[in-house]
Amino acid sequence: MRLIHLHLILLFCSLLLSAQELRFGVETQDAYLNEAFLFQIQVDSEHQATAPRLPAFPGFRVVPQAPQHSRSSQVSIVNGRRTQSVTVSSTFNYLLTPLRLGKLNIPVVEVLVNGQVKRTQAIAITVREPEKLEGIVLQVELSKSEAYIGEPLMLTWRWYIDRQIYNYNFDLPVLQQPEFSFPDYVPQINPARQRQYQRISNQQGAELIALQSNVRFQGKNCSVLVFERPFIALQAGDYNLPESSLICEIEDQRASRQQQQQNRRRSPFDDFDSFFSGSRRATRRLNVVAEPLRLRVKALPSAGQPSNFSGIVGECSLVVSAEPREVNVGDPIVLSLLLSGPPYLEHIKLPPLESLPALAAGFKVSGLEPGIVQEGGKLFQCTLRANGAEVSQIPALEIPYFNSEKGAYDFARSQPIPIKVLPLRSLSLQDALGSGGVSELPAARELQLSEVGIAHNYEPAALLAAGNQTASAWLGSPVTLAWLLLPPGVWALLGAAALWSRRRQANPRARLAARAAAKALATLRRLQPEKAGALEELFELLQSYLRERLQLEPGIVTYSDLHNILSARGLPEEAYLGFKKILAECEAGRFAGTATSSLPDLQEQLRRAIKELEGAL
């Protein structure tokens, strides 16, 4: 871990109130080219301040950070009268990256405070060329230097390190190029090497996970961090990809530099975390720049392009299935199409299926879905309805794609699917009356003679006894009410159970997050401090808790990661500051072999830190 030396520049006006309302400062006035440093504005006002509108910052790249707000109140009693004042402190942070050498100026910024415009002062920044050193090398390579529009490519970064690294930050401007799209990507995680995965800190805020390994490079044993990101070119042209670079810190052995480090005042800003080490050292910064890359992107040829080409680039295969396969004319058939072959299928879409002549001749097509990416391909579904009973199969389908390896268009073809389509049958009176026909109608009663004439066509009263029941009496019966209420009650219970089950399955990480604290505390109680490897178990417990509670991808969680995530959620640093020392001690134990605190003390600190974080969340 290293100490950031911040030179606060305060604006003292003639009124004391102004000095209390507005403060501003920079992390350093002696910066390095392409190194991001912090510019901060703090506002104390009666109400929550809005972010100032920044002017142009010539020579800088400006990246606003999430603002932080805190509220405090003060009660005073004068002559028996009680008054309360509320102050809202707002902190606005900006990462400034110098883009050229020499003298640069941070301009005056106007800030609205309690209805009045306050101004910061201009700040002079000296930008120097960072020292370069052999043994720390950054390399970037493309999977192909020449590609077609829409063809997926892979960018791979390799960072070789032959010494201790205390802090680092990548600048990867290629990830913000509008000419490219970057599909979501998470590398395959090897559980056996889980502790060797690291999140890559970068100015673009991209989610990058690197694998750390030991290799032989330039005749020396060193470590290498390898991470990658797929991308797809959207426009044709010759591109000089922006340089990838990083600023890192190494230990400074020179006594004069160490003396400078000791003589400087402690920064009011928090220390940055060490990525590889928890101990504080006198350090110097290095700027490491990769060799530039060139990429040629070619337009897809118009010659031979099918009329229904939908932009699929890369060799494909197509598997089609249908259910049901025995239907009446006009009945729906669900057609499923699984397209596989190209990686990163999120952007791929099918051509309109009604544009396929073989399919449109026998079916009406409707409801083609956008598709769902699943393991092995992208699944599309639509509904078919046969036009007539003469249809005996779903024909083989042909989906056009561009084969970038051959430089020509081709088709992914499926197999035909036999089906049985039954003709519609007209409904006759015989169907309506039943198969028994007229013979099933009630038999006519024969008229009987009587001395008083023709008998009434009524049944005896005994046969009509049930007719005395009224509708209200029938509905008021408990048995009737039970039968009426039972079906909707059952359906309500089933619906609630299905909804609960879907919510549980929709986000399994949320279930893990809810149980993370209880699981971690229980494991912590069972941890045996005297056992060999107990510090390693404590570190694994802490990492598992943070990943599950914050729903993160696999990899080591540093305090810098924790701070970025929780501050973005609006949590004050006091809620998670307890993890800082624990992470530093664990890191020191991992790389230096020893920790300054005893394991029982670390157990107790971790227990308190978990409870404080849970209380804040």
How much is the pLDDT for 450? Answer: 47
Looking at residue 192, the DSSP 8-state letter turns out to be G
- Same domain for 388 and 418? yes
Contacts of range 581-586, beta carbons closer than 8 Å, 24 or more positions apart: 581/605, 582/542, 582/606, 582/609, 583/273, 583/278, 583/542, 583/558, 583/559, 584/1, 584/273, 584/274, 584/278, 584/279, 584/559, 585/278, 586/278, 586/535, 586/538, 586/539, 586/542
Per residue in 25-83, pLDDT (tens digit) is 998 898 888 777 889 999 988 888 888 999 999 999 888 888 888 887 776 776 767 77
Contact 315, 401 (CB under 8 A): yes
Q: What integer is the mean pLDDT of 310-324?
A: 93
Contact 155, 229 (CB under 8 A): yes
Give yes or no for residue 180 having a pLDDT over 70.
yes
Q: Which of 247, 266, 298 is where one domain is finished?
A: 298
- Same domain for 69 and 160? no
Q: What is the sign, positive or negative, of the torsion defined by CA atoms of 211, 215, 221, 227?
A: negative
Distinct helix (H) and strand (E) counts, the chain? 11, 34
Mean pLDDT across the chain, nearest whole number?
A: 80
Give yes or no for residue 550 having a pLDDT over 50.
yes
Q: What integer is the mean pLDDT of 474-502?
A: 73
Closest to 617 (Cα-Cα) out of 558, 571, 563, 559: 571
- Same domain for 165 and 124? no
- Same domain for 97 and 206? no
Contact 201, 170 (CB under 8 A): yes
Range of the domain at 233: 136-298
- Same domain for 330 and 228? no
Is 447 inside any structural domain?
A: no
CATH code at 390?
2.60.40
Q: Which of 83, 101, 128 is where one domain is finished?
A: 128
Is 392 inside any structural domain?
A: yes
Is 455 inside any structural domain?
A: no
Flag the least confident range among 8-22, 110-124, 535-549. 8-22
- Same domain for 218 and 285? yes
Contact 27, 6 (CB under 8 A): yes
Joined tokens for residue 64? 């606003």
pTM strictly above 0.85: no
Coil, strand or helix: which one is 187? coil
Is 516 inside any structural domain?
A: yes
- Same domain for 412 and 274? no
Query: Predicted confidence band at 237 (pLDDT cuts at 50, 70, 90)?
Result: very high
Q: How many CA atoms lie within 13 A of 377 on its CB side?
A: 15
Flag the least confident range among 12-26, 412-426, 564-578. 12-26
Q: Which of 391, 406, 422 is where one domain is finished?
A: 422
How much is the pLDDT for 13? Answer: 33
With b meaning 16 or more CB within 10 Å and e meaning fewer, what string describes 551-589?
ebebbbbbbbbbbebbbeeebeeebbbbbbbbbbbbbbb
How much is the pLDDT for 469? Answer: 54
Q: Number of folded domains in the chain? A: 4
Contact 97, 35 (CB under 8 A): yes
Is 429 inside any structural domain?
A: no
Flag the least confident range among 153-162, 326-335, 353-362. 353-362
- Same domain for 143 and 110? no
Bridging pattern class, strands 81-98 and 68-78 = antiparallel
Per residue in 265-316, pLDDT (tens digit) is 333 333 333 334 444 457 777 778 899 899 999 999 999 999 999 999 999 9
Give yes or no for residue 528 having a pLDDT over 90.
no
Is 457 inside any structural domain?
A: no
- Same domain for 336 and 395? yes
Is 486 inside any structural domain?
A: no
Query: Predicted confidence band at 481 (pLDDT cuts at 50, 70, 90)?
Result: confident
User: What is the Cα–Cα distance from 241 to 218, expressed in whole angstroms?
Assistant: 26
Q: Look at 75 and 454; give whichever has higher pLDDT.
A: 75
Is 48 inside any structural domain?
A: yes
Per residue in 248-258, pLDDT (tens digit) is 888 766 544 44
Q: What are the beta bridge partners of residue 227?
A: 157
User: What is the Cα–Cα distance from 586 to 278, expressed in whole angstroms?
Assistant: 8
- Same domain for 242 and 322? no
Could you tell me how far CA 26 lies from the centroid of its own chain? Answer: 32
- Same domain for 247 and 385? no
| Segment (H or E) for 536 | helix 534-550
- Same domain for 116 and 153? no
Contact 6, 269 (CB under 8 A): yes
Joined tokens for residue 29? 């006035």
| Segment (H or E) for 287 | strand 283-289
Q: What integer is the mean pLDDT of 535-555?
A: 84
